[in-house]
């Protein structure tokens, strides 16, 4: 067995998500998907033959590109493998080589060709104030295309939409108090425009790469995953951080952390939002299974619809 594969299996053990879990998910019964299993060569090749490079169009509105960076940071095997072998990423403003009208023409050509089949990924919020002029995605035939227009037009043509990141799902940071740009998430935009295409929210600021890849795999192999009341896959957002936190016993015994860097102690007095937050970070961990927010600081509730206002000010007892 290669060293990198061994390391990988160790990371899987640490994160509590086994290869069996993933394979069971693919066959219909289990509760967890790990990116490492998604990238298992056997799974990749099975998906490759069955999925035939599913077209994905990735557009960006008001955001920081943090979710793309988080996804692209997947360590091993690289995200390149999934992008090149499993899905066919036809448009991504940050990573594609093409630009300007050529890129936009290609975007709409693929959307037309693959109508009803392609998945649209939206990253970043959509500003609706001032006729959408706060976010211009490009020009076609001398006409500016706003993020509102682009999201609605492609959204109607797509087979499914993934709202990636809290900004795309619920408005997130651009929609924070004040919100002069009228920033909104995809579901709200679609509701107002009467667009019925199914939307899967994958919040997180940024997203965990597993949440995105796992949702895409689920979508392509088994259809839309079961969603909670906030439109998130229950598979990744069905458990409460606080109820599963390794510091819960300490809270019960009144052992409280005095500083964010304390190894021991519950972070509630420092402003932890774990009790109001549903995500599987406590077992999935971040940085290839090495650590997570509560190890090094606390949970700021980045996957919740009210983020960031609902958990602000950060680092203050609630």
Cis peptide bond upstream of 70, omega within 30: no
Query: Smallest gap, in angstroms, from Cβ of residue 237 to ligand FSX?
Result: 15
Give me the 118-147 binding string for ligand FSX, x by CB under 6 A, dash otherwise.
Answer: -----xx-----------------------
Q: Which of 16, 66, 138, 238 binds ligand FSX (CB under 6 A)?
A: 66
Considering the candidates 92, 205, 208, 218, report the single residue annotated as catalytic: 205
Q: Which does 281 bind (CB under 5 to 8 A by kind): ligand SF4, ligand FSX, none?
A: ligand SF4
Q: How far, in Å, CA of 260 to CA of 275, rounded? A: 17
Q: Which of 54, 92, 232, 267 binds ligand SF4 (CB under 6 A)?
A: 267
Q: Is 274 in the site for ligand FSX (CB under 6 A)?
A: no
Considering the candidates 54, 67, 135, 208, report the single residue annotated as catalytic: 67
- Given the complex with ligand FSX, which of 32 and 165 has the nearer CB atom? 165
Q: Is 299 in the site for ligand SF4 (CB under 6 A)?
A: yes
Q: Is 206 in the site for ligand FSX (CB under 6 A)?
A: yes
Q: Which does 124 bind (CB under 5 to 8 A by kind): ligand FSX, ligand SF4, none?
A: ligand FSX
Stretch that binds ligand FSX, among 64-72, 155-163, 192-200, 283-291 (CB under 6 A): 64-72
154 Cβ contact partners less than 8 Å away, ≥ 6 residues apart:
57, 59, 107, 111, 120
Is 137 among the catalytic positions? no
The neighbour count for residue 196, using CB atoms within 10 Å, is 10
End-to-end CA distance of the chain: 49
* Dihedral sign of CA atoms 152, 156, 159, 160 in order: positive
- The closest alpha carbon to 213, from 19, 302, 16, 81, belongs to 81
Q: How far, in Å, CA of 190 to CA of 159, rounded? A: 14
Q: Is 195 in the site for ligand SF4 (CB under 6 A)?
A: no
Q: How far, in Å, CA of 123 to CA of 269, rounded? A: 33
- SS3 state of residue 122: strand
Is 135 among the catalytic positions? no
Q: Please give the backbone phi and psi of residue 10, each rounded to the nearest 5 degrees, phi first.
A: -60, -45
Strand pairing partners for 91? Answer: 57
Considering the candidates 92, 137, 208, 245, report the single residue annotated as catalytic: 245
Q: How far, in Å, CA of 308 to CA of 172, rounded? A: 6
Stretch that binds ligand FSX, among 22-30, 107-115, 164-172, 226-234 (CB under 6 A): 164-172
298 Cβ contact partners less than 8 Å away, ≥ 6 residues apart:
260, 267, 270, 271, 272, 273, 274, 315
Q: Which does 241 bind (CB under 5 to 8 A by kind): ligand SF4, ligand FSX, none?
A: ligand SF4
- Given the complex with ligand FSX, which of 25 and 61 has the nearer CB atom? 61
Q: How far, in Å, CA of 225 to CA of 127, rounded? A: 28
* Dihedral sign of CA atoms 186, 191, 192, 196 in order: positive
Considering the candidates 167, 208, 218, 247, report the single residue annotated as catalytic: 167
Strand pairing partners for 291? Answer: 286
Q: Is 272 in the site for ligand SF4 (CB under 6 A)?
A: yes
Q: Which of 268, 271, 288, 289 binds ligand SF4 (CB under 6 A)?
A: 268
Q: Is 247 in the site for ligand SF4 (CB under 6 A)?
A: yes
Q: Which residues bind ligand FSX (CB under 6 A)?
A: 63-67, 123-124, 165-167, 172-173, 205-206
What are the residue numbers of the active site? Answer: 64, 67, 167, 205, 242, 245, 266, 272, 281, 293, 299, 302
Q: Which residues bind ligand SF4 (CB under 6 A)?
A: 204, 241-242, 245, 247-248, 251, 266-268, 272, 274-275, 277, 279, 281, 292-294, 298-303
């Amino acid at each position: 067995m290669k060293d990198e594969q061994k390391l990988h299996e160790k990371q899987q053990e640490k994160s509590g998500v086994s290869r069996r879990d993933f394979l069971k998910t693919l066959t219909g019964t289990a509760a967890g998907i790990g990116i490492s299993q998604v990238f298992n060569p056997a799974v990749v090749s099975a998906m490759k033959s069955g999925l035939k490079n599913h077209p994905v169009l990735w557009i960006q509105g008001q955001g920081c590109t943090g979710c793309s960076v988080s996804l692209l940071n997947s360590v091993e095997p690289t995200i390149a493998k999934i992008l090149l072998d499993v899905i066919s990423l036809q448009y991504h403003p940050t990573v594609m080589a093409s630009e300007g009208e050529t890129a936009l023409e290609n975007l709409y050509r693929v959307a037309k060709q693959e109508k009803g089949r392609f998945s649209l990924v939206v990253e970043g919020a959509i500003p609706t104030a001032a006729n959408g002029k706060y976010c211009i995605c490009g020009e076609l035939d001398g006409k500016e295309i706003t993020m509102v227009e682009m999201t609605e037009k492609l959204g109607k043509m797509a087979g499914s939409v993934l709202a990636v990141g809290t900004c795309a799902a619920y408005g997130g940071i651009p929609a924070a108090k004040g919100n002069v740009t009228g920033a909104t998430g995809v579901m709200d935009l679609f509701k107002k425009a009467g667009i019925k295409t199914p939307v899967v929210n994958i919040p997180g600021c940024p997203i965990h790469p597993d949440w995105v890849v796992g949702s895409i795999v689920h979508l392509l192999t088994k259809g839309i995953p079961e969603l909670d009341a906030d439109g998130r896959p229950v598979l990744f957002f069905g458990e409460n951080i606080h109820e599963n936190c390794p510091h819960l016993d300490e809270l019960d015994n009144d052992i409280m952390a005095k500083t964010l860097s304390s190894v021991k102690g519950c972070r509630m007095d420092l402003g932890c939002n774990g009790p109001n937050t549903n995500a599987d970070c406590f077992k999935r961990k971040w940085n290839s299974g090495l650590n997570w927010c509560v190890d090094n600081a606390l949970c700021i509730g980045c996957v919740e619809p009210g983020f960031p206002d609902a958990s602000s000010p950060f680092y203050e007892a609630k």
